A and B are shown apart, each in its own frame.
Chain A
């Protein structure tokens, strides 16, 4: 909601600066941004009463003298004879209709109406709709204008459940369905109540006779409708958050006044009806309890002053909540009002102390030990969301999925982990070892959870000279899990690549275990230590490259033992922004010939572009030149 600073301070005689008001709004919990002296307010959904100039100024009353005086039409109003029937009194407790007939020309907009359109750069529609929009901005009460010549004398408010076509005044054809609160005339919808009126009965620039509807709708009947029918509606935004049921006469008298400022009124009549009596919320003014909620000294005089300035009545130690504050229901709400005025940041903190809590549960310790074991063996933990396109009958269906590919909850982790593995293979990873621990659900288990561990791996066993040429297979995973679970029979599976979009040939091994079945965890691996305040270092993340990598291998023949160590030190310390990884993939000590062979793999990748041949060659040349300058070091195939 946009509100001009100028319009706010027109009600505050001391004219505080825009920065001061901004600070007060933050103190009150009204987030906003300011652009060109316009506040763009982001109000919490419980504060529908602040969705207007008057509402916001009212909330500033504890800090400033305020003056919410607005000129209204003061004369007595004739009764409007209208054939309106309210068939949904629980959805509309109060309603008024005002009929105004004007004659002659409408003068150019002046006063507040002119400023509203100029300062907020709003688009004009037609005379009556423009006033309606302005009144909503100034006072917070939406009104709807029907052209009196286009609407008959008999219409009703009803909750309907059947489908109806509806042509909105925003020129959209929609079909309303399920439960809707509507105004009907001859079975035709003339207004989706509290959201938008219809095209056929709306005002135009030619309208000279208008019926203005001013209602209090139950938010439950309005909520969700604008989203459901994709209608942007300021009225719905306000009705959903609740409006003041007792403001109608003042709002409509204000409406008449603004009309009379711009046109000659020929006739004006009003219809008012209350279907459910309003009774104000009353809360016992328990000052002791308020100070206990906030943890501040009992200061009845100040508490009372704050509340009165915010519009609350206090009679015989009872707080009377004003009709526009539908969010205040109990003493905690009252404590919040007082805290907002004091300022949350001005409430002192008092010591909070408890003894440390009990140790982690056995299942948590077990989970952590399983994770530690897998991480130690080169596995990376992943987290996947549970939505899959569903291939199993026992999968739970999402009633409102994000899309058809995510309409079931996964019953196992295989599919997610396979996707993770293929994603990394496509990114040139030749050794992928992943695991996930997650709850899975199925209809079979009556929607009950089971926590499972999924492990997937493929490619090289490791990136070192011992494991480089070994490939991950069923035996590898069996041996690994035997270290963790010596007595458990496991059934890893080999995922068939034929059904996957991949040309690689490496075996994909997958294993899934129910976590609470892991009861034979190797005792040496279990540490039941409490993990309170474990040392944790937060690294500074460096964005990963989205560009392809390139690799080069070098094999060194070394006959001087000192150089064997020197070459390792040199390459361990070698730094370049373009080198992603260096590791030894081959080592052979030929004692018979007094020769060592060392094979190095260099993986290159740039963070800013696809790495070029010449960039790689420059670095390789640097490494080759340096290493070949060492005594007894040769690179087979390359001469010194």
Chain B
């Protein structure tokens, strides 16, 4: 029989904290895209209008450029980037094709209500090479969505409009409730954007896509209110160990 001298103290269960669920999803997506050949690059959150809008073929008249949609800073000399696409512009200006990059991070829009936040996260990808086609884009998008939502998920492509891609598409998945849910935007890089970045659009073409990290996180974790991610509530964060 063991004695009190031999008693093992109670097991100390590890008291781990956790990475924020949005960063977990962001890293998951970056890892996924790196596996497909996309190199992760970063860029500044305070951007020029030139990189955030002009170079991306977003004209001065585009509603997104209005003061009610975009945060302007420092006496209107700069904007808080409204998407991570300016990182793609910087990459195209810095490197010659072929080029495959993914950019992820915080973006800002002048919204603040139950379903929109002034700050959220995007993961975008872009691939520039010869012979990049819409049908190749479809294959890549299928791969990404199957990796996130499983091989069984039903996918639908819809024509859409983004000034920086042409043709443009939005991609929906069929939810368990039978409702189509939008999960991703994509398209063939508009040749105007390539030319803006000194890339010969007769020789090269490109594909681009973007995912809202909060959107994916809400669908994957079953979080219904986007605001829950940013309350910093320990009871909430504790679930994402």
The interface of chain A, by Cβ under 8 A from chain B, is 26-29, 31, 44-47, 219-220, 223-224, 227, 240, 292-296, 330-333, 335-336, 339-340, 344-345, 347-352, 354-358, 360-361, 364, 371, 374-387, 396-402, 406, 409, 420, 423-424, 427, 429, 432-434, 439, 441, 443, 447-449, 462-466, 531-534, 536, 538-545, 561, 564, 568, 580, 584, 587, 589-591, 594-596, 598
Q: Are A589 and B35 touching (Cβ within 8 A)? A: no
Q: Are B135 and A296 touching (Cβ within 8 A)? A: yes
| Chain B 33-45 interface 0/1 with A at a Cβ cutoff of 8 Å (1 = within) | 1111111100011
Closest Cβ–Cβ distance, residue B225 to chain A (whole Å): 9
* Interface of B (DSSP majority class): mixed
Q: Which residues of the partner chain B approach A399 to less than 8 Å between Cβ atoms?
A: 67, 71-76
Q: Which residue of A lies closest to B23 (CB)?
A: A381
Q: Which residues of the partner chain B approach A330 to less than 8 Å between Cβ atoms?
A: 166, 191-192
Q: Are A356 and B34 touching (Cβ within 8 A)? A: yes
Q: Are B131 and A292 touching (Cβ within 8 A)? A: yes
CA–CA, A387 and B80, complex, Å: 11
CA–CA, A224 and B221, complex, Å: 38
Q: Are A384 and B232 touching (Cβ within 8 A)? A: yes
Pairs A–B under 8 Å by Cβ, sample size 23: A44-B161, A220-B61, A295-B133, A347-B135, A349-B135, A350-B139, A357-B35, A357-B37, A371-B19, A378-B17, A379-B17, A382-B237, A385-B119, A396-B73, A400-B67, A401-B71, A402-B112, A423-B231, A424-B234, A448-B44, A532-B31, A543-B224, A545-B235
Known contacts A223-B61, A584-B10, A380 near B157 by CB under 8 Å: no
Q: Which residues of the partner chain B approach A544 to less than 8 Å between Cβ atoms?
A: 228, 233, 235-236, 239
CA–CA, A540 and B220, complex, Å: 8
Q: Are B221 and A424 touching (Cβ within 8 A)? A: no
B46 close to chain A: CB less than 8 A:
yes
Q: Are A220 and B60 touching (Cβ within 8 A)? A: yes
| Chain B 5-16 interface 0/1 with A at a Cβ cutoff of 8 Å (1 = within) | 101011111111
Closest Cβ–Cβ distance, residue B57 to chain A (whole Å): 10
Q: In chain B between 104 and 159, which residues have their CB closer than 8 angstroms to a CB of chain A? A: 110, 112, 117-119, 127, 131, 133-140, 142-143, 156-159
Q: Are B17 and A375 touching (Cβ within 8 A)? A: yes
B32 close to chain A: CB less than 8 A:
yes
CA–CA, A627 and B217, complex, Å: 43
CA–CA, A46 and B63, complex, Å: 11
Contact for A449 among B1, B46, B137, B234, CB less than 8 A: B46
Q: Which residues of the partner chain A approach B110 to less than 8 Å between Cβ atoms?
A: 400, 402
Closest Cβ–Cβ distance, residue A375 to chain B (whole Å): 4
Q: Which residues of the partner chain A approach B156 to less than 8 Å between Cβ atoms?
A: 345
Q: Which residue of A lies closest to B231 (CB)?
A: A423
Q: Which residues of the partner chain A approach B167 to less than 8 Å between Cβ atoms?
A: 293-294, 332, 335-336, 339-340, 344
Q: Are B100 and A350 touching (Cβ within 8 A)? A: no
CA–CA, A114 and B14, complex, Å: 74
Q: Are B4 and A382 touching (Cβ within 8 A)? A: no
CA–CA, A402 and B228, complex, Å: 20
CA–CA, A376 and B142, complex, Å: 36
Q: Are B15 and A464 touching (Cβ within 8 A)? A: yes
Contact for A378 among B15, B60, B134, CB less than 8 A: B15
Q: Which residues of the partner chain A approach B192 to less than 8 Å between Cβ atoms?
A: 330
B87 close to chain A: CB less than 8 A:
no
Q: Are B100 and A223 touching (Cβ within 8 A)? A: no
